[in-house]
Structure 1
Amino acid sequence: MTTAALDPNVHLTYLAEGAANIVYRIHPPLITSIVNPTSPSTPPSTELESYGPSTPPPTEVPEPSSPDLYKGHLLRLRKSAASSVPVQESHVAFITKIAPLFPAESLVSQTLIVLPPGLLKRLNSELRGLDGVGTRATKRRGTYLDEEEEYGRLVGDMTGDGNGDGEGDCVALEFKPKWLVQSPTAPKEARRCRTCALSAMRIAASSRGTAWKGVCPLKLLAGNIESAREAVDIILKSRAADERVSTRLVEFICTNELVKKLRQLQEQWDRQGVLGRREVDEDLSMAMTVRDCTLFLKIPTNPTMPIEARLGDLDLKPTTREKLLYWQNIERRLIDEGWYTTTEKGPAMGRNHCRLAETC
């Protein structure tokens, strides 16, 4: 059982961020290993590692630097948020509850890594500098890394850049499949799925206008070329993708089993919905986790090479009452304000792009 420790002099460059995490590219590959002395051997860095609440603190054993450990990986760090879960706890949940549900090749790999003292404070100082010059998205400014966190994660690099794998050019894409099964508490006369209803509500409340052309998750599972083509056009958006890439992505959407597996898990873990609950049980936490994961795709321009598809952002959702109240408030608004049924008041939302509107 091995945990890696980041060298304090490692150089990191800001790459991207979401609501709960920030991702950095690593330069150069400097590493020191920390090895549990009870472990009979040191597994490759790509293997998932098992940790439990009774795992004793590892003993530091200096080893030569291992640049290969960083190859094809990014560093993912947790932001400070009241509802966020400590990295080690989240990692344990991933390898014990989530990873066993999918083939290893269908998941973005992740390895727990110990952070050096002072790193997060330094990175937060850099983030404040990025805030000052407007580099970060407006909605992300003012949020920073949790300086009390001891761990980060090395995650597989699905950006299609900087892997050094020698596999040639590819188009890298990512999107969230979201709610692949309608909310159990949605009205029977709904003409929007839960994802489309929430998107419509948020667009109406924003300053971006009333037109919306997001991907309806139900079209990812429609099983026909027309729906798949519409989804692909939205996913690719303004990218100047080769028509062959577009065609391959349509075929992938029509035939892949990964999104179908997500749908099955979402349905299995939440048949009740969030309303009427007094607490978040493990099943609901798991359901919300697979509703918010990201599908990463690498589509080689060489048609003889297979598409690489992996799920990431599979951090187990917290089971706090505050989180439950948040989910319940959203659901009540979607129902009471007519977002499911397209009877909402206010500016017209334009065409309803949800598949439910086409099948009602």
Structure 2
Amino acid sequence: MSPSVPLSGIPALPCSAADHYEFKLVGEGASNVVFEVVVQPNDESSSSIFQGNLLRVPKAGTKAHTYVELQEYWEAVVKPLFEPEDLVQHRLVHLGGEQLVLRLNAVLAKNEDIRRPDFRGSRVAAAEYGMLVEDMRQRQPNDLTLEFKPKWLAQSPNAPPSATRCRNCAREALKHHTKHTNHRDSPPILCPLDFLTCATSPAAFTRIADHLCSLNPLIPSPKTTHPAQYSRLLYWLQTNTVLPRLRAAQLDNDGQGPLQADAHDPKFQLAMTLRDCTCFIRVPYDPALPVEAKLADLDKKNWAAKLGYWQAMERRLIEGGYYEGREAVKVRTDCQLERGIVNESTDQREGS
């Protein structure tokens, strides 16, 4: 275990937690569940550890790494790449035994109807450790909160030289083409390369901002309902350093791409973790408070199990023509690479 995460200093949830706290389901993934812990107003003994934090616990029956391994990896490998304010902070917490697990599973069972179909029936594991995770939801009712996955902020090293799509746009085109969900009148797939050109392209940062805001169903039109916060979001997109830092780390740790990767190469492992993280943004209603943007979901992955999938996906994108927009019924992506080629061709025609 990393010296910065001593096991002896980890806070514990007492056995009485199951009776004293109320637990609310916040979200879940394939391997983890996140709960809000509501503490009784007169309970001062444990309330401080939940102030500004959510409780994350592992699911039963997965092949994910233990929380001790995940925390160690985050502390030793991920954390040094970023500034502290760039990351959603988290730390280990001792779970309070079987009674707590039963309470948490009862919450999952109660919410079964609203859970994602493929998550229904999954339950919390009887694990020794959970995590206290910084809460990036609204602090005040009118705060603007967003979350998104930056994805691959640079082209895949395995993409063909004639590619007219970045890796993410190619992957999204494959998904829509397979499911027949992308139509001529559908909004185009967002290109993550636009994140890095917001400082010089008004069209790019407007496109990104509108897309991000569309992901928040509680705020249908922030441009008109939250104009001051929308302007602050635009300014953040133009001036932030966390996404350029994330892109640089992706590039520094993978120069060959999945097809030439070794599952035991720690740098490639890190690059794929960095390509699957989530960015949370909170734009406070109070203009005196700063915009906060933090990266999360930076867990160590099961590399040996994942490499075959990553390589098969890369081959499918290449052989299916998705990097070059050659699928049978072309999918709209609005990729920055394709836009650049179109603009270059137009300039050449106009200059001839």
In structure 1, what residue type is equivalent to 2:212?
I
Is the aligned partner of 1:4 residue 2:15?
no
CA contact (8 A) 1:184 1:271 kept: yes
Greater helix proportion: 2
- Identify the residue that residue 320 of structure 2 maps to in structure 1: 337
CA distance in structure 2 between the aligned counterparts of 1:120 and 1:197, rounded to whole angstroms: 41
TM-score, scaled relative to structure 2? 0.83
CA distance in structure 2 between the aligned counterparts of 1:83 and 1:280, rounded to whole angstroms: 17
- Percent same amino acid at aligned positions? 34
Change (3 A) 1:214 1:71: farther
- Identify the residue that residue 144 of structure 2 maps to in structure 1: 171
Equivalent residues, number: 317
- Identify the residue that residue 283 of structure 1 maps to in structure 2: 267
SS at match of 1:15: strand
CA contact (8 A) 1:114 1:152 kept: yes
Alignment equivalent of 2:45, drawn from 60, 65, 80: 65
CA contact (8 A) 1:232 1:249 kept: yes
In structure 1, what residue type is equivalent to 2:143?
C
CA distance in structure 2 between the aligned counterparts of 1:153 and 1:110, rounded to whole angstroms: 6
Alignment equivalent of 2:242, drawn from 241, 244, 258: 258
Is the aligned partner of 1:141 residue 2:120?
yes
CA contact (8 A) 2:24 2:37 kept: yes
Moved over 6 A (4+): none
CA distance in structure 2 between the aligned counterparts of 1:355 and 1:155, rounded to whole angstroms: 35
SS at match of 2:324: coil
Deviations 1:8-64 (A, max 9, x none): 32321111122332111001169x9xxxxxxxxxxxxxxxxxxxxxxxxxxxxxxx8
CA distance in structure 2 between the aligned counterparts of 1:81 and 1:247, rounded to whole angstroms: 45
CA distance in structure 2 between the aligned counterparts of 1:152 and 1:260, rounded to whole angstroms: 31
1:210-289 map, 5 Å:
210=183, 211-222=186-197, 223=199, 224-237=201-214, 239=219, 240-241=221-222, 242-289=226-273
- Structure 2 unaligned spans of 5+: 1-5, 342-352
Alignment equivalent of 2:58, drawn from 74, 78, 84: 78
CA distance in structure 1 between the aligned counterparts of 2:169 and 2:22, rounded to whole angstroms: 41
Is the aligned partner of 1:152 residue 2:130?
yes
Which range is displaced more, 189-198 or 207-216? 207-216
In structure 1, what residue type is equivalent to 2:159?
A
Residue 348 of structure 1: how far off its partner (Å): 3.7
Residue 144 of structure 1: how far off its partner (Å): 3.3
CA contact (8 A) 1:203 1:212 kept: no
CA distance in structure 1 between the aligned counterparts of 2:86 and 2:194, rounded to whole angstroms: 21
- Identify the residue that residue 161 of structure 2 maps to in structure 1: 188
Alignment equivalent of 1:199, drawn from 172, 180, 190: 172
In structure 2, what residue type is equivalent to 1:112?
L
CA distance in structure 2 between the aligned counterparts of 1:81 and 1:228, rounded to whole angstroms: 42
CA contact (8 A) 1:29 1:66 kept: no
Change (3 A) 1:198 1:114: same
TM-score, scaled relative to structure 1? 0.82
CA contact (8 A) 2:150 2:279 kept: yes
SS at match of 1:179: coil
CA distance in structure 1 between the aligned counterparts of 2:103 and 2:284, rounded to whole angstroms: 37
